[in-house]
Amino acid sequence: MEVKTIVDECLELWRDPYPQMARLREEGERLVGVLCSYTPEEVLHAAGLTPVRLMGAMRSLTHADAHLQVYCCSLARTDLDMALAGELDFLEGAVFVQTCDTMMRLSDIWRRNTAFQYHGDLVLPIRMGEEVSLPFLVEEVRRFRRGVEEFTGQEIWDDALVESIHVYNRNRRLADRLYRARASNPTALDGLSAMSCLVAGFWMRREKHNELLHEILEGIEDSGEATGGEKVPLLVSGSVCTMPDLYELLLELGADVIDDDLCCGHRYFDAYVDESAPPDEALAKRMWERVNCPAKHQCIEDRFERLVRQVRDSGAKGVVFYLQSFCEPHLFDIPYLRQRLQDELEVPSLVLESELQSFSRGQLRTRLQAFIETISGV
């Protein structure tokens, strides 16, 4: 298949993944919703379940506000709204990783008000990357695994889990290659296309996504000599990007996303699970070492240091912080991150907040255009 055809299909999935999830169910996949990139998806995969990411939707709320305050993030509100409206009935359940206050409470509300057969919780230590928290996390992964086993009624064998870890590690390696290919040949694959191909994997069996990434990489790597992009290179930082609007607008305005610090992007596939270690411990270790979600404290690499490294390595001329309104963990970090980017790298940044995954498109366009003008001049 042509690279463009694959990319277009992936972009369609990104715009609206829910019909695809329903199709997967019809094809016999047993779907479990995943709200957080810390979910050890390998455990679900090894149990014969198919994890699918719930990244909210652009919609008017009719059910969720009876349960969640309006100052909860739109990700939680729209996901819950769809569940309560019966629009996620193709799921057998969902997994809640207890990262921030909203996700913790959402888990309880979801459990009490929906009728899914399976409900998974994984409690993360507040402080990651410290010796004392690793054994706790290993035990949490084991508890989570037991919960999945109880639900399916079948034991998850270590060798099955190791096999799933291998599939996911391959996915991470391919995603990393995709990002590298995208950086070295921006005319062959722009930021919108790369992100589309990555997030599409949230809504298909991981083996199939590996095949898809492999096919794209072969297509790009055979596409001839690499040429530099002429667009203003930007880095996007934040949590999830529910809709492709931001990436599309940036392209239209003469900029492109050359790297990201999103939990549905680069942070999702960063770092590998050690395939030679006992699987529970190896899964916990990856989470423990991974670059932190701002809801957690302390990890091996400081968030700002990593952002600096990414900006320097990618050659980004500006950073767009793309956040869900009321996402306190991210928003608390913003003044500090922006100030240091300006003082230490002289890299300007723009903060965009989306409520219910939508923006006033006209205003968003003006702000992005003005931001690009601060970088490239007029």
Partner 1 sequence: MYYAGIDVGSLTAQAVVINAKGIVAYKSIGVKPHPVQSAKTVVDMLIQEQGINWNEVKFCVSTGYGREQVQAEGLSQDNVSEISCHGMGASWLVPDVRTVIDIGGQDAKVIRVGKGGELVDFVMNDKCAAGTGRFLEVQARTLGLSLDELGTVSFSAERTLELSSRCSIFCETEVLHYLQRGHTKADIAAGVNRAMAERVAALVRRVGLEKEVTMSGGVAKNAAVRAELERMLNVRLIKYDTDSQIVGALGAALMARKMGGGS
CB of 254 to partner 1, least distance (A): 12
Examine residue 358 and tell whether it contacts partner 1 (CB under 8 A).
Answer: no
The angle, 0 to 180 degrees and rounded to 10, between the axes of the packed helices 303-314 and 328-340 is 60
Number of residues that bind partner 1 (CB under 8 A): 13
Nearer to partner 1, 65 or 275 (CB): 65
Q: Which stretch binds partner 1 (CB under 8 A): 126-134, 286-294, 313-321, 363-371?
A: 363-371
Query: Do the Cβ atoms of 307 and 261 come closer than 8 Å?
Result: yes
Nearer to partner 1, 21 or 350 (CB): 350
Query: Do the Cβ atoms of 348 and 372 come closer than 8 Å?
Result: no
Q: How far apart are the first and last CA of the chain?
A: 40
- Single out the residue of 26, 27, 131, 362 in contact with partner 1 (rule: CB under 8 A): 362
CB of 70 to partner 1, least distance (A): 13
Q: Which of residues 189-248 bind partner 1 (CB under 8 A)?
A: none
- Single out the residue of 163, 345, 348, 358 in contact with partner 1 (rule: CB under 8 A): 348
Nearer to partner 1, 153 or 377 (CB): 377
Sole residue written with tokens 């096919």: 215
Query: Do the Cβ atoms of 23 and 111 come closer than 8 Å?
Result: no
CB of 327 to partner 1, least distance (A): 15
Nearer to partner 1, 90 or 326 (CB): 326
Spatial separation of the C-alpha atoms in residues 108 and 127, rounded to whole Å? 23
- What stretches of the chain show up as alpha helix (H) in DSSP? 3-15, 18-26, 41-46, 74-84, 101-113, 133-152, 158-184, 191-199, 206-221, 245-252, 266-269, 279-289, 303-314, 328-340, 361-376
Q: Which stretch binds partner 1 (CB under 8 A): 64-72, 90-98, 162-170, 345-353?
A: 345-353
- Look up residue 334 and give its two tokens: 């913003």
21-58 burial by CB neighbour count: b if 16+ within 10 A, else e? beebbeeebbbbbbbbbbbbbbbbbbbebbbbbbbbbb
278: nearest Cα among 170, 378, 138: 138
Question: In Å, what is the CA distance from 318 to each residue of 149, 233, 314, 350, 351?
Answer: 46, 7, 11, 8, 11
Nearer to partner 1, 20 or 369 (CB): 369
Nearer to partner 1, 136 or 336 (CB): 336
Q: Which residues pair with 31 in a beta bridge?
A: 50, 91
Nearer to partner 1, 333 or 353 (CB): 353
Examine residue 353 and tell whether it contacts partner 1 (CB under 8 A).
Answer: yes
Examine residue 343 and tell whether it contacts partner 1 (CB under 8 A).
Answer: no
Examine residue 369 and tell whether it contacts partner 1 (CB under 8 A).
Answer: yes
DSSP codes, 317-335: SEEEEEEETT-HHHHHHHH
265: nearest Cα among 195, 327, 322: 195
Q: Which stretch binds partner 1 (CB under 8 A): 174-182, 261-269, 291-299, 367-375?
A: 367-375
CB of 79 to partner 1, least distance (A): 23
Examine residue 70 and tell whether it contacts partner 1 (CB under 8 A).
Answer: no
Examine residue 366 and tell whether it contacts partner 1 (CB under 8 A).
Answer: yes
Examine residue 373 and tell whether it contacts partner 1 (CB under 8 A).
Answer: yes
Nearer to partner 1, 126 or 370 (CB): 370
Query: Do the Cβ atoms of 204 and 24 come closer than 8 Å?
Result: yes
- Single out the residue of 63, 111, 214, 367 in contact with partner 1 (rule: CB under 8 A): 367
Q: Which stretch binds partner 1 (CB under 8 A): 115-123, 141-149, 213-221, 360-368?
A: 360-368
- What stretches of 16-132 show up as alpha helix (H) in DSSP? 18-26, 41-46, 74-84, 101-113
CB of 323 to partner 1, least distance (A): 11
Q: Which stretch binds partner 1 (CB under 8 A): 2-10, 191-199, 270-278, 347-355?
A: 347-355
Interface positions with partner 1 (CB under 8 A): 348, 352-353, 362-363, 366-367, 369-370, 373-374, 377-378
